[in-house]
Amino acid sequence: MWPEWNRIRELAEQNGRWELGAARIVASIAIPIAVSFYSHRLALIVAVPFGLALYWYSRRALRRFLKRQA
């Protein structure tokens, strides 16, 4: 898919930390799913903030993780 996903997966396999890669993938998928259910306002209201928060947290966690690896 995306080259960065492969890099995240490689780091996760090396260090046994799958949650970083999984959180990033889930956040990347949550927003398009929410948009596809645009007629269901409740799904949109719940999924978009959750997806954005998860994406933001996973980016912060990934940056900290990569700094420790360097």
Q: What average pLDDT does this structure show over 4-14?
A: 69
Supply the pLDDT for residue 45: 74
Helices (H), the chain: 3-15, 18-36, 41-69
Residues 18-67 have pLDDT tens digits of 566 666 677 677 767 766 766 666 666 777 788 788 888 888 877 887 78
Supply the pLDDT for residue 3: 67
Residue 56 neighbours by CB under 8 Å, 6+ apart: none
Looking at per-residue pLDDT, the higher value among 68 and 70 belongs to: 68
**Domain residue spans of the chain:** 19-69
Least confident of 2-6, 13-17, 51-55: 13-17
Q: What is the C-alpha separation between 62 and 47, in angstroms, rounded?
A: 22
Q: How far is CA 52 from the centre of its chain?
A: 9
